[in-house]
Structure 1
Amino acid sequence: MNLGTELTYGNSEDLFFLEYNKRKGHFTMSIDHIHGQYELYYLFSGERQYFIKDRTYPIQAGDLVLIPSNELHKTSDTGVPNHARIVLYYNERYFDSFSKEEAALLRSPFLGLRSVLRLTHQERLRFEQLLYGLLQEVQEQTAGHELPIRHAAAEALLFAARHMINSKPEPNEGSSPPSPAAAKAMEIASYIAEHYREPLTLDELSRQFHLSTSYLSRTFKKFTGFGLTEYIGITRVKEAQLKLRETDERVTEIAADVGFESLSQFERVFKTHVHLSPRDYRNQYGQKR
């Protein structure tokens, strides 16, 4: 089946949408690192580095990656060119059409201990058959194509859920022991996740971890895909999103609580990563009280 280099179905406003890309050369994910959809990522070929929350995973062809909604993540280059991948996105409202028990099962892959599922050869063949059938429907768009697309979207989640139930491997399946430099980058990321409310600068972190500023900055970027200042900002924005959705706290108070020095800095960084102002985000996603 000739899929070309890119296919899409739907958009971020839909209950379900997908992206397929076959990329030549080297590629690192751009700035959109947090979104409200659940994300199922599958790598057909090549290899990638996937940073999720505060941990880096080496991803190889045949790996299935599961990202909860509003979780910080980014893929980056490993030095090996060319890769093909598909990403399925599920809006929270996607699960409303199922019974309570069915919705819990389909959502369960995103709520477990593992972010990466490494498929066996037989599992990979079966899952890729499902995905290629889905992509064929997207590409050809014959009469009634939306029916098998909806079916395949749910079947992909069911496949992941059953894999997690039946295999019972160790947490963080698909990862390998990190190098000392990668382990240090993840240690720094974990520290930032715990101390994001505090003033954090490159100089302060360099002293904290007994590293030169240039080495810390270079190593963190290499193994997470993020610049240090970018990661600190995104971590604070993620926490601010939670407060905007679930509390009535004033925007100025939220800005200070998550570590921003000023309201203007908060609004600028928030809009950079979320593409909405904090107030517009609350109006759109906040709980109705």
Structure 2
Amino acid sequence: MNPIRKPFRLDPIFPFDIVFKDRKNSRTELPDHLHDLYELVYVYEGKGTFFIDNAFYEKEEGDLFLIPGNTIHRSFPDADRPILSTAVFFAPAFVESSSLDDAYVPLRCFDIARKKKQYKIELTEEFKQRTRETLDEIADELRNKEPGYRHAVRLGLQRLLLTLGRLPFTREDGSMDKRIGPQWIMDALRSIDNDPGQSGGLAELAAKACVSASHFSRVFKQLTGMNVTDYVNAKRLVLAKELLLSTDDNVESIALACGFQGLPHFYLTFKKLTGMTPRAYRLIER
């Protein structure tokens, strides 16, 4: 299954959305998906597994997850203990503001999460309470819509991100690795993530893991919900999108650099996932 792009129809001047205290189960969860918005997920109760980028995490009461934009992810709730959670979605521009001449960056916690490949944060009881209160306040503002409610929502989110930016995990020496899964799967996912353009196929990955191709494929699909080819193509497309926006390289050069064998395959795969051609994406997003 190819990862889907979750659609959002947000007000351009208020690029924010919240799914407040939603009960999750296997029937209502999306398959593997990604989106341009940044996402913050707080778990109130229940149990499950979260697949984010190239890692798997236990998902339990009081956990907080940071998911940067264009990161493949999927939740697998426990059948007997479904998840109750709040998910916040926002565009980076919503929280960014003019510099006040210090080193603080509102999205630093997301940048560190991406850099360390560590998307789960286990919070102190004090910060759990503070997070719940802030999410309650945001939901109340959106429900009541009193004058200035949009400013209140942004201030609430900025306050939450400020506190996250001061937690130990945002320091370079912080270490809170909570990933789960067989080591050979972790190694394979890391290899694909580091260089999706040169990533081998199923046979090569299985050989490196010293397991049979059928066993590799079965476990990979069980844990990620995707087959190897779809996952590699999704990672290649994420890289292609970054190169389309950050370089002036022509589309064919980017396609080859990302591991696609030619423009037809690249165009077909890119449009299937994003709904637009590479050139249209570059023109619209720049």
Interval of TM-score (by shorter of Structure 1 and Structure 2): 0.7 to 0.9
**Equivalent in the alignment of 1:63:** 63
Relative distance call for 1:41 and 1:25 in structure 2 (3 A) is: closer
**Equivalent in the alignment of 1:5:** none
TM-score, normalised to structure 1's length?
A: 0.81
Quick check: 1:43–1:84 contact (8 Å CA) kept in 2? yes
Q: Please report how far the alpha carbon of residue 169 of structure 1 lies from its aligned counterpart in structure 2 after TM superposition.
A: 7.8
Aligned pair count reads 273
Mind listing any 5+ residue stretches in structure 2 that lack a counterpart? 1-7
Q: Please report how far the alpha carbon of residue 94 of structure 1 lies from its aligned counterpart in structure 2 after TM superposition.
A: 2.4
Query: What does 1:156-195 align with in structure 2 at a 5 Å threshold?
Result: 156-164=160-168, 170-173=174-177, 175=178, 178-179=180-181, 182-195=182-195
Q: Please report how far the alpha carbon of residue 81 of structure 1 lies from its aligned counterpart in structure 2 after TM superposition.
A: 4.2
Relative distance call for 1:195 and 1:12 in structure 2 (3 A) is: farther
Q: How far apart in 1 are the matches of 2:285 and 2:125?
A: 41
More displaced 10-residue stretch of structure 1: 245-254 or 131-140? 131-140
**Equivalent in the alignment of 2:141:** 137
C-alpha distance after superposition, 1:212-253 (max 9, x if no partner): 222211211222343222210111001101110011111122
**Equivalent in the alignment of 1:11:** 10
User: Quick one: which amino acid aligns to residue 51 of structure 2?
Assistant: F
Quick check: 2:51–2:74 contact (8 Å CA) kept in 1? yes
Relative distance call for 1:95 and 1:245 in structure 2 (3 A) is: same
Query: What does 1:1-289 align with in structure 2 at a 5 Å threshold?
Result: 11=10, 13=12, 14-20=14-20, 22-27=22-27, 28-33=29-34, 35-101=35-101, 104-112=104-112, 113=116, 114-164=118-168, 170-173=174-177, 175=178, 178-179=180-181, 182-198=182-198, 200-286=200-286
C-alpha distance after superposition, 1:15-66 (max 9, x if no partner): 3333335235325433432x33332221222223223332222121211112
Equivalent pairs: percent with the same residue? Answer: 25
User: Quick one: which amino acid aligns to residue 278 of structure 1?
Assistant: P
Quick check: 2:252–2:263 contact (8 Å CA) kept in 1? yes
Quick check: 1:18–1:86 contact (8 Å CA) kept in 2? yes
Q: How far apart in 1 are the matches of 2:125 and 2:225?
A: 29
More displaced 10-residue stretch of structure 1: 143-152 or 225-234? 143-152
User: Quick one: which amino acid aligns to residue 11 of structure 1?
Assistant: L
Q: Please report how far the alpha carbon of residue 267 of structure 1 lies from its aligned counterpart in structure 2 after TM superposition.
A: 1.6
Q: How far apart in 2 are the matches of 1:140 and 1:63?
A: 28
Q: Please report how far the alpha carbon of residue 80 of structure 1 lies from its aligned counterpart in structure 2 after TM superposition.
A: 4.6
Mind listing any 5+ residue stretches in structure 1 that lack a counterpart? 1-8
SS in 2 for 1:241: helix
Q: How far apart in 1 are the matches of 2:111 and 2:170?
A: 16
SS in 2 for 1:122: helix
Relative distance call for 1:78 and 1:204 in structure 2 (3 A) is: farther
Q: How far apart in 1 are the matches of 2:215 and 2:228?
A: 12
Relative distance call for 1:228 and 1:172 in structure 2 (3 A) is: farther
Give the superposed CA RMSD. 2.9
Relative distance call for 1:64 and 1:199 in structure 2 (3 A) is: closer
Relative distance call for 1:167 and 1:253 in structure 2 (3 A) is: closer
